[in-house]
Structure 1
């Protein structure tokens, strides 16, 4: 079991690991050793995730969630399979922990009394300057 927080724990059987060749330089081992790890996690059907966390996780993951509903994480920074595997799991746990945080609701702010008065004064000044431009004799016909 992987503990994310007091609310969410993941069963390790839900994680699929695929070991692939890492890109970039590798010397003599470049074509022999598959050290990169692709972690796949079924975010849409996981019984471990509450519904609200699932929605936020899929939204936050963006393109990392494919059409099949699997979240994919590629880890290839380290030189060994085990350390890349650990890195991928840590990144998944971080993503789920971030998705567990409820967003703070936005409270609409009100304009201050001073800003309202300044706005109205500005409008009045603008209106007066426009009215002074009018032809005074245009109204008498």
Structure 2
């Protein structure tokens, strides 16, 4: 990841100046340095007030991320690595993934289609065959 910002999708890059970082001590592996190193990275991005998000993508992101936002701010935490640098990179990757998913276009609307003549004929033939099988299960007529 470069220092210019976080690329999310074509035409949408979160500039570095809009990212807010906080660091704290992480739990987990780290040996003797775990109690002295602020390796846990917390990345915050203001989705609601960011000028870099195109308006239609912002509306989509706010709708899809509403459960994760606090006052319009998305916070990503990374503490799985022992070094602060690697946790920063992990947080940036996660931010790009979350925003990419939240701003992705929805599924295409389904266009109704008519069944083909062949598929209708096969369906009716299968129904007739099934009915014949069931009819043969009855008692033989005398």
TM-score (norm: length of structure 1): 0.68
Q: Cα gap change, 1:88/1:46 in structure 2, threshold over 3 Å: closer, same or farther?
A: same
State the Cα RMSD in Å. 3.3
Which of 78, 82, 99 matches 2:81?
A: 78
2:56 alignment partner, SS class:
helix
**Cα deviation code 1:55-80 (max 9, x no counterpart):** 222344353x3331100000111111
- Structure 1 unmatched ranges of 5 or more: 118-141
Map of 1:93 onto structure 2:
96
Answer with 17-26 or 32-41: which moved more.
17-26
Q: Cα gap change, 1:10/1:114 in structure 2, threshold over 3 Å: closer, same or farther?
A: same
Map of 2:130 onto structure 1:
none
Distance apart, 1:114 and its partner CA: 9.2
Larger-gyration structure (1/2): 1
**Cα deviation code 1:2-58 (max 9, x no counterpart):** 252331122211000000111224332222111010100000000010122122223
- Considering fraction of residues, name the structure with more helix: 1
**Cα deviation code 1:102-138 (max 9, x no counterpart):** 1133215667789999xxxxxxxxxxxxxxxxxxxxx
Q: How many residues are treated as equivalent by the alignment?
A: 132
